[in-house]
Amino acid sequence: MSKFSVAYVSRSGGMSNELNNIIAMNTDGVYEGVAIGGDRYPGTTFFDHMKRYHDNPDVKMLILLGEVTSRVSSEVSIHNK
């Protein structure tokens, strides 16, 4: 079991590297992170991963990084209440 408690979903793999660094310097570390990319027909969505992280009791902080549309932000916020 990991002692780290931050999970994130990023649009960009490159930005994930910087995000890992920021999280490592300011928290107990990354539990899990995923970059979903910007493909036109993605295999997974921001919400797929945010829901999975939200349901995991080991995850204490969720981070969403990327060009988040109003539809995506609404979907995530409604389900994370």
pLDDT per residue over 31-71, tens digit each?
A: 999 988 877 767 888 888 988 999 999 999 999 887 766 56
Whether 49 maps to a domain, the answer reads yes
Q: How many domains does the chain have?
A: 1
Whether 21 maps to a domain, the answer reads no
Secondary structure of residue 65 in the 3-state scheme: strand
Whether 25 maps to a domain, the answer reads no
Whether 14 maps to a domain, the answer reads no
Whether 77 maps to a domain, the answer reads yes
**Is the distance from CB of 53 to CB of 5 less than 8 angstroms?**
no
Range(s) of the domain holding residue 77: 44-58+70-81
Token representation of residue 34:
């995923």
pTM of this structure = 0.77
Whether 81 maps to a domain, the answer reads yes
